[in-house]
Structure 1
Amino acid sequence: MISRIDLRGDALPEGPALRDLLPRADFDVSVALEKVRPICEAVHHRGDAALIDFTEQFDGVRLERVRVPAEELARALEGLDPEVRAALEESIRRARLVHREQRRTTHTTQVVPGGSVTEKWVPVERVGLYVPGGRSVYPSSVVMNVVPAQEAGVGSIALASPAQAEFGGIPHPTILAACALLGVDEVYAAGGATAVAMFAYGTESCPPANLFTGPGNIW
């Protein structure tokens, strides 16, 4: 049975007392590293072939290719429930308002006559974004990853989400539809450590990224 902690109306403590009130599960990073390291090394050295093998091992589906075809994105958007589409479009609109205001402009400070310091914010060239895809579907993670990158001016955006055997090896259609709404057409059926390694090292189908973001667990 799932335990519940109801804190409505309570004044929350600070510091260690708050951590004691809402404890996190114990985990051993070294154990995770022992299992993740060979996965990353395999992707580093074998590229797409390793991604395909691990997808079959972990997700139960044998892929023909790792990158999701453009027609699958279009089909997912076409089949998206109108109410879900409206909700996603509104989420995107609100997220853009927030992140557009966060973008900083170039600022120059005159220090001495003839001497100045300029602060300039330059977006990274390419980002890899991760959207979990276990037992639940998280199109909100698509919005929360993609919109900040777009508003920052990142020129190349790629997204990975685990392959779903139920849908023939592509990520969940709602995830694909959210990508299509945002204009992201570089999507990969890759999950967990395999996706991290793909973006870190690059493969035949996926160039490496300068930055990787997204939610996930220790794996």
Structure 2
Amino acid sequence: MRRLTREDIKKWKTSRQEDTSDIQGKVNDIVSGVRRRGDAAVKEYTEKFDGISLSDFRVTREEISDAYESLSGKYLDIIQEAAGNIRRFHEKQLPSSWFDTSQDGSMLGQKYTPIDKAGVYVPGGTAAYPSSVMMNIIPAQVAGVERIAMVTPPGTNGRVPIGVLATAQILGVTEIYKIGGAQAIAALAYGTETIPAVDKITGPGNMFVALAKKQVFGDVDIDMIAGPSEIAVLCDHTARAGEVAADLLSQAEHDERSSAVCITTSRQLADDLDREVKEQLKQLPRKNIAEASINFFGGTVVVDTMTEAVDTVNEFAPEHLEVMTENPYEQLGAIRHAGAIFLGPYSSEPVGDYFAGPNHVLPTSGTARFSSPLNVHDFMKKSSVISYSAAAWHRNVDKIASFARLEDLEGHARAVEKRKERFDD
């Protein structure tokens, strides 16, 4: 693990930026093709990029049921329990509409309404992510979304992994399409002959998926433009180097451009961590990916004080932050920018990925400075409610009309003054 400085952290965002112009051009063509040619384009791109020729995109109920029956009862029980934890956490996020009535009879308020149709992208192809199914679908269900469509790339056998389908069965989702990539995002955004359009698209994916989401944003809503995974571990002398190393590598194994950084006040721990990472890499099945990630942007920042350590965390604004200090709650209040915060030695990052309850779809690339994890609010919208009484109108009509004329909008002024005729009749 190389030594990093706070200045390295400040430059981190720039260092991770990629030139996506070549990919963006290809994504533009795919999205445009699907928008113009519908199913025919989706079939063409699926065969071209995934090597799969499909006569029908829709996963049948029999496929879903067979997957559920095929999965070991042990795994079904774990998924059921995890889903319950995730649902309970997200139910606490449900907002309430509110209405405030004044003495003159006016009423102002805010009304929450779930969106009608959500599309969920679950990564696939060479891997299976049942956890992504739960993290995207459960908050949409809690919000009250009536229609949830799921898309996921098929494997080389043309089928969706049984773990993904079994999880969908547990959650009661039956509208599933075995398509992926930019063509799946375009199909959800604009609709095809067989895939109705949605209002919002959520879920992580590769660069093609991320750029397609960016392109369709505005025609539909999206959750975020997700980049490679990140973890920062904030620790002092009480942390165990073996545990810190294992947690850093848990994210480094995701992607060669993932980031894994330790920020510590202990030089001894930093030295021990170097040895631990090297040893654990030898035993890691995804060693090549994790090692490339560590070489790309992994390392240790050694600082003199915990205040400086927390300031460095806030500059990093990591997707995942573990706090492994003597009293982790003491640092919590000062931490301003992190997607998810894991406190204490038993709260390793995978606890949140799979089981605890909070969502693992998190802001990356420093966007935790201004954005939040995927949540129930993402699947709801707010409407302002205004009901002015005659008394309130009388009291404010001249002020409102004057404000309109300040902006040279005479029509606005006349619209509010037009009500005077009610009292002239």
User: For the superposition of Structure 1 and Structure 2, which TM-score range results when normalised by the shorter chain?
Assistant: 0.7 to 0.9
Q: Find out whether 1:70 has 2:61 as its counterpart.
A: yes
- Report the 3-state secondary structure (helix = DSSP H, G, I; strand = E; otherwise coil) of the residue aligned with 1:158: strand
Aligned to 1:83: 74
Aligned to 2:93: 102
Amino acid at match of 1:51: V
Relative to 1, partners in 2 of residues 1:21 and 1:146: Cα closer, same or farther, differing over 3 Å?
same
Decide which of 17, 29, 32 is 1:26's aligned counterpart.
17
Aligned equivalents of 1:204 and 1:121: distance in 2? 32
Deviations 1:53-92 (A, max 9, x none): 1111111111111111111000000101222111111111
Q: Tell whether the 8 Å contact from 2:124 to 2:153 is kept in structure 1 after alignment.
A: yes
- Report the 3-state secondary structure (helix = DSSP H, G, I; strand = E; otherwise coil) of the residue aligned with 2:89: helix
Q: Find out whether 1:45 has 2:36 as its counterpart.
A: yes
Relative to 1, partners in 2 of residues 1:80 and 1:30: Cα closer, same or farther, differing over 3 Å?
same
Q: Find out whether 1:183 has 2:172 as its counterpart.
A: yes
Moved more, 32-41 or 143-152: 32-41
Aligned equivalents of 2:188 and 2:15: distance in 1? 28
Decide which of 200, 215, 220 is 1:211's aligned counterpart.
200
Decide which of 186, 205, 228 is 1:197's aligned counterpart.
186
Aligned to 1:143: 134
Aligned equivalents of 2:12 and 2:2: distance in 1? 9
Amino acid at match of 1:59: D
Amino acid at match of 1:139: P
- Report the 3-state secondary structure (helix = DSSP H, G, I; strand = E; otherwise coil) of the residue aligned with 2:53: coil
Aligned to 1:9: none
Aligned to 1:153: 144
Q: Tell whether the 8 Å contact from 1:55 to 1:163 is kept in structure 2 after alignment.
A: no
Relative to 1, partners in 2 of residues 1:28 and 1:21: Cα closer, same or farther, differing over 3 Å?
closer
Relative to 1, partners in 2 of residues 1:192 and 1:111: Cα closer, same or farther, differing over 3 Å?
farther
Q: Tell whether the 8 Å contact from 1:44 to 1:197 is kept in structure 2 after alignment.
A: yes
Aligned to 2:389: none
**Root-mean-square deviation over aligned CA pairs:** 2.2
Aligned equivalents of 2:10 and 2:72: distance in 1? 40
Q: Tell whether the 8 Å contact from 2:125 to 2:156 is kept in structure 1 after alignment.
A: no
Give 5+ residue unaligned stretches, structure 2.
209-425
Deviations 1:91-150 (A, max 9, x none): 110110011110111111234521121111100100000000043211100000000000
Aligned residues: 208
Deviations 1:3-60 (A, max 9, x none): x689xxxxx97xx754556886432232222010111111111111111111111111
Relative to 1, partners in 2 of residues 1:143 and 1:199: Cα closer, same or farther, differing over 3 Å?
same
Q: Find out whether 1:132 has 2:123 as its counterpart.
A: yes
Q: Tell whether the 8 Å contact from 1:51 to 1:66 is kept in structure 2 after alignment.
A: no
Aligned equivalents of 1:24 and 1:47: distance in 2? 38
Amino acid at match of 1:177: A
Decide which of 49, 58, 69 is 1:58's aligned counterpart.
49
Q: Tell whether the 8 Å contact from 1:96 to 1:151 is kept in structure 2 after alignment.
A: yes
Aligned equivalents of 1:50 and 1:22: distance in 2? 36
Q: Find out whether 1:92 has 2:71 as its counterpart.
A: no
- Report the 3-state secondary structure (helix = DSSP H, G, I; strand = E; otherwise coil) of the residue aligned with 1:108: strand
Aligned to 2:317: none
Give 5+ residue unaligned stretches, structure 1.
7-11
Q: Tell whether the 8 Å contact from 2:126 to 2:155 is kept in structure 1 after alignment.
A: no
- Report the 3-state secondary structure (helix = DSSP H, G, I; strand = E; otherwise coil) of the residue aligned with 1:34: helix
Moved more, 61-70 or 23-32: 23-32
Aligned equivalents of 2:114 and 2:83: distance in 1? 20
Whose Rg is larger? 2
TM-score normalised per structure 1: 0.87
TM-score normalised per structure 2: 0.46
Relative to 1, partners in 2 of residues 1:106 and 1:45: Cα closer, same or farther, differing over 3 Å?
same
